[in-house]
Amino acid sequence: MLSLAAQLRLRLLVLVAVSFCLAAWTLWKGETMRAERDVRALLELNYRDVSRGFTDRADYQLVSIARDIAARFGSSGRLATEDAAKICAEEEVAEIYDVDANGVVVGGSRLVGSYMGAGAQSAEFLRLLEPDGPETLSQPDRPRTSDGKVFKYAAARFPDRSGYIEVGWSEERFLRFLRQRAYGYTRSWHIDERGWIAFVDAGGVVTSHADMSLAGKTLQEATGLDPATVPTGTLFRATIAGAPMFCYAGPVRDYLAVLADPVEDAFASRDRFMPRMAAVLLAVFALLFGCVSLMLRHRVAGSVQRIGEALRRIAGGDFGGRADVRSSREFSELSDNINATVAALRAASEDRVRRIEAELELGRTIQRAALPADFPSDDCFRLAASMEAAREVGGDFYDFFPLGETLRAFLVADVSGKGVTGALYMMNAKTLLKDALMADPAHDPAAALTHANAELCARNPAEMFVTAWVGVLDLETGRVAFANAGHNPPLRLREGAEPEWIRGKSGCPLGCFGGVSYKPLETALAPGDALFLYTDGVTEAMNPAGELFGEARLAATLSAAGSREPRALDVAVHAAVASFAADAPRADDITILALEYLAAPDRRLKTFPCDAAAPAASAAFLEETLDAGGCPPKDKARLLVALDEVVSNVVRCSGASGLAVAVRFAREPRGATVSVSDDGTPFDPLRVPPPDTTLAADDRPIGGLGMLLLRKTMDAVSYRYAHGCNILSFRKDFG
């Protein structure tokens, strides 16, 4: 492709060339027409001259005769008829009239005594008698009044007196004169230098020509022109003797005058003038072309190029690029328009990016907000978890929560979808699993998966699924009840042993098939053991070479970590994955949950027979235990009241054979949890509606106040039925 400047220059060149040709042609045409006009005028002028000169000579001849006679007879009186006849013969005239001052013929060939004014033709000569009249007069040949014969007359005044001599030629004499004149009449008549005039008689024979050798030949022979068809009164071209000629023909009396001028001569000035003119034109047009093309390159093509560069930058994504070409109003407007468009584009693009970012951020916020961040750490167990989201919102989640005093639920899951939809599905799955685990009195992970799966399958328009590993750790025993819905197997870490995969599977991922049951599985942790859960973002992290991080590297990393402290494990694995993946883009969320089982709860436990002595005996045990545990007196009083309420209820209502009181202290926040177990009739006292405390004394029923006190004074109260026992627990944080 040619550049715009080159294209413009090419077009300009064509334009200038065409203009030049047009101008040159117009000039040529104009010059030609002017030359033709000139030659036509020249030929017409010559025709008129030759035409007039042909008969003028006859007038001159006849007037000369009249003047001679007038001079000869001016003073001698009347011209006698005999003398007139003699003179007529001498001078070859037909008639002579001697006219006196009164216009009366006083002598001459005939009509002596008659008055000249009687006939119209002869009356014209009376003007010679007027004082300021002409000296001589002649008439063209014409029929005379008296007998209609054609005559030609001329007259001359007497030089010394009034009156005149009139002489006349008969037609025959006049024609003879003309015949003689026609021969060689134009022999020395040249038009310009080489033009000529041919005289042709009625028989088509040339009588006169610049080249008299042609005289006597027919016009056809001499010039190739046919006198019968030759156009008259107009300019025409003909090739005569091999030379192109401008010709003009016209009648002169009975003759035909043919005038010719070589075309070459007629166009001589044009042909001389044109090359010089063309050279000047060429110079002018070349100059014009040079100036305009220079201007084009600087003003137009240069501007277009700069606009083009700006647009290329903008198209390349540089929305900061500006077009700023101010070489003319048009380019200035164009620049402004481009800048305005780019500004609008930039605003729209930024707005779109902002909205996408906002939606991604919303998804991340949902995801993050759903993940608990206050990791428990006490004497029995500690836990750490993390979720590193990929650039897009992922669907990983983890969760952990206590189930009563001694059970700790924890889980890791991976939703198949991403984005806000994935995040919402994850919220749903997480809530379902937690609710199911909490609602189930046995806190069975497999049952929770079965329940959550049924719910997820019932309403799964997005056809998503979620893999999950759910475990419940019993702090008392270290047993972990778990269920695995298609999730990666976790690792158990133990002092002095290689990491061990816990590979049991309970069923397919949640959300795939409704109505399936998940198999309950179990493993055990000894004090000091850790459990490491993760999502496939860890094992499927890819390095730039396309290799996966894999289970072997994970096990090696955990083995080399040198610690089973959950936070340290979490950090070590994240670091190993990051170092392995280097700068390869992260495809998936990386989620980790690690927990370490430290020891069974530090607590005191005492059993009592279920009888009237139980309240006092259990209160004594609690007081002693709380005193040993450093419980403030005020909180001790509240805990003792609470115990009194619970134990008195058990003794009064449960029908149990015995009861157990367990006390466990917590470090952070400092506090004590008391659990009362009995083997009596299953009954949840927390379900009893609280009494109306606004009634007056006389209307007050007795009862229900104990549970009210329990709820109001304790920081947490819970009931469960497990292993054939009612277990009521209440916790008081030391204030």
For another protein, the closer of residues 430 and 636 by Cβ is: 636
Min dist CB 732 to another protein, Å, is 13
N- to C-terminal Cα separation, the chain: 87
Contacts of 647 (CB under 8 A, 6+ apart): 614, 615, 618, 619, 659, 661, 676
Residue corresponding to tokens 């599985």: 521
For another protein, the closer of residues 188 and 694 by Cβ is: 694
Min dist CB 632 to another protein, Å, is 12
For another protein, the closer of residues 514 and 703 by Cβ is: 703
**Alpha-carbon Rg for the chain in angstroms:** 71
Residues for the chain: how many in total? 735
For another protein, the closer of residues 374 and 698 by Cβ is: 698
For another protein, the closer of residues 228 and 697 by Cβ is: 697
For another protein, the closer of residues 333 and 624 by Cβ is: 624
Min dist CB 698 to another protein, Å, is 6
For another protein, the closer of residues 442 and 705 by Cβ is: 705
* CB atoms closer than 10 angstroms to residue 520: 17
**Sign of the CA dihedral running 446, 448, 450, 452:** negative
Amino acid, single-letter form, for residue 326 = R
Min dist CB 678 to another protein, Å, is 15
Min dist CB 631 to another protein, Å, is 14
Min dist CB 703 to another protein, Å, is 8
Min dist CB 702 to another protein, Å, is 5
Q: How far is 97 from 83, CA to CA, in rounded Å?
A: 12
Contacts of 300 (CB under 8 A, 6+ apart): 4, 5, 8
Min dist CB 731 to another protein, Å, is 18
Min dist CB 624 to another protein, Å, is 12
* CB atoms closer than 10 angstroms to residue 620: 12
Q: How far is 460 from 671, CA to CA, in rounded Å?
A: 44
Angle subtended by helix axes 329-369 and 419-439, to nearest 10: 10
Min dist CB 628 to another protein, Å, is 18
φ and ψ at 188, to 5 degrees?
-110, 20
Bridge partners, 727 (sequence order): 677, 720
Structure token digits, residue 526: 């000894």
For another protein, the closer of residues 59 and 623 by Cβ is: 623
DSSP class per residue in 57-115: HHHHHHHHHHHHHHHHHSSS-S--HHHHHHHHHHHT-SEEEEE-TTSBEEEESS-TT-B
Task: Write the secondary structure of 554-567 as one string of H (helix), E (strand) and C (coil).
Answer: HHHHHHHCCCCCHH
Min dist CB 665 to another protein, Å, is 21
For another protein, the closer of residues 460 and 648 by Cβ is: 648
For another protein, the closer of residues 245 and 663 by Cβ is: 663
Amino acid, single-letter form, for residue 405 = E
Structure token digits, residue 637: 């009083």
Q: How far is 209 from 111, CA to CA, in rounded Å?
A: 44
Residues that bind another protein in the complex, under the rule CB under 8 A: 615-617, 619-620, 634, 637-638, 640-641, 644-645, 647-648, 651, 693-698, 700, 702, 705-706, 708-709, 712-713
For another protein, the closer of residues 441 and 632 by Cβ is: 632
